[in-house]
Amino acid sequence: MMIANRYEPTGTTAAGGMGEIIECIDSHLQRRVIIKRLHAGIEERRLIDEQKALAKLRSKHVVQLYDILDLSDGPKRDKAIVIEFIEGVDLDVGSFKVGLEYLNVLWQIACGLRDIHQAGVIHRDIKPDNIRLDNEGVVKIIDFGLARSSDEAKTHSIIGTAIFMAPELWSDKTVSFDQSIDVYAFGVTCLALLSANVPTELAHRPPQAISLATLSASLVGLSSDLVVLIHACLATDPSKRPRMIDVQALLARQLLKNQHRALVVMNGQAHLLDRNNRKITLNAGAVGSLTIEYDGLDFNVSRSSGAIYLNNTPAQASDVVPGCCVITFGDGSNRRFVTFDVSHPEVMP
């Protein structure tokens, strides 16, 4: 039977904790969609909150809202939303190992949460079950049934999935919360994707602070920068958790490690710096010399002697050479100019 004179059920349905999922074909646009409606007795606000949250969002990494339906039959009210059909699989606990695939998935989750937060929304239920990987390898954050706008973020009941809930949510009083609860849940998700056995500190009610050493033992093989980042996400003090835009940026930086190339042109001769050729010394005789080394993330000055400038700023050891830079050797009328250009690879899902 056609729903709302437009959506034809395929026969595939599923039941969740709060509602029913009906797979349909949109007869107008000839595409698969999902209709989501609440079980009888479930507070309608859950669906309204999801609708309000998704209506604000346009992100490659967030499920899209297509339509809002009123399926009322007589006095009975029956609201539903139509959302994007995502062909793929939900992320599984313990299904990843530390490596590029794992980092890419974390980066995509962080991109989705960055977009959610920039839209003024708090998801409130970030966990592997609510993150889907489509057949193209693109991560989509789903299930906004607990979502709140940042300006109405209060709760008087403990709600969510226990292990992913931030410490401040464990209260028998009305508590205000902010986007940092999603940051905390992201940190737990980073661990849960690697193993079902998360550190015991996180299983307490409320969860306790976890030491950097303990966390490192659960993230063997991950760079120290990322271990410190995840440790910050799990801070018991919400104000000490990073913003998702910063989490996303650091993950992108790690994914691009050893992927940069710099072209240096001096005296008409081109030199390439990359993961295969990590060091170059530019010598201008009596004027001075400059040594640049690539550490996989940045091009750094390791030695500088004489009057040498990076974009008119005196070069010093440990300086990071800007991605688009003119290196000047000498002062006054006897200056020599060297161009330094870095290609900027992009992270792709």
Matching CATH number, 261-343, of 3.10.20, 2.60.200, 2.60.40, 1.10.260: 2.60.200
Distance CA 152, CA 169 (A): 15
Confidence (pLDDT) at 75:
55
Q: What is the CATH code of the structural domain delimited by 88-255?
A: 1.10.510.10
Q: What angle do CA 308, 314, 319 make, to 5 degrees?
A: 100
Measured CA distances, 297 to 43, 101, 323, 335, 345 (Å): 50, 19, 12, 30, 12
Confidence (pLDDT) at 76:
59
Confidence (pLDDT) at 185:
98
Contacts of 206 (CB under 8 A, 6+ apart): 165, 167, 168, 169, 170
Tell me whether residue 68 is exposed, middle or buried, using C-beta atoms within 10 angstroms of its C-beta: 0 to 12, 13 to 18, 19 or more: middle
- Paired tokens of 164: 């992913």
Measured CA distances, 231 to 50, 215, 301 (Å): 30, 7, 30
pTM for this model (two decimals): 0.91
Domain boundaries defined on the chain = 7-84, 88-255, 261-343
Q: What is the CATH code of the structural domain delimited by 7-84?
A: 3.30.200.20
Token pair 């193209």 is at which residue?
136
Same topology between domain 88-255 and domain 261-343 = no
Task: Render each residue's pLDDT in the chain as its tens digit; 349 residues.
Answer: 899 999 999 998 887 666 789 999 999 999 999 999 876 666 677 788 889 999 999 999 999 999 999 877 655 567 899 999 999 999 999 999 999 999 999 999 999 999 999 999 999 999 999 999 999 999 999 999 889 888 777 776 777 889 999 999 998 788 889 999 999 999 999 999 999 999 999 999 999 999 999 999 999 999 999 999 999 999 999 999 999 999 999 999 999 999 999 999 998 899 999 999 999 999 999 999 999 999 999 999 999 999 999 999 999 999 999 999 999 999 877 899 999 999 988 888 7
Sign of torsion over alpha carbons 187, 192, 195, 201? positive
Confidence (pLDDT) at 17:
61
Confidence (pLDDT) at 105:
98
Measured CA distances, 65 to 36, 50, 53, 89 (Å): 11, 9, 9, 19
Distance CA 14, CA 22 (A): 7
Distance CA 90, CA 86 (A): 10
Burial call 150-173: b when 16+ CB within 10 Å, e when fewer: eeebebeeeebbebbbbbbbeeee
Measured CA distances, 153 to 150, 203, 220, 323, 325 (Å): 5, 24, 36, 41, 46
- Paired tokens of 221: 């093989």
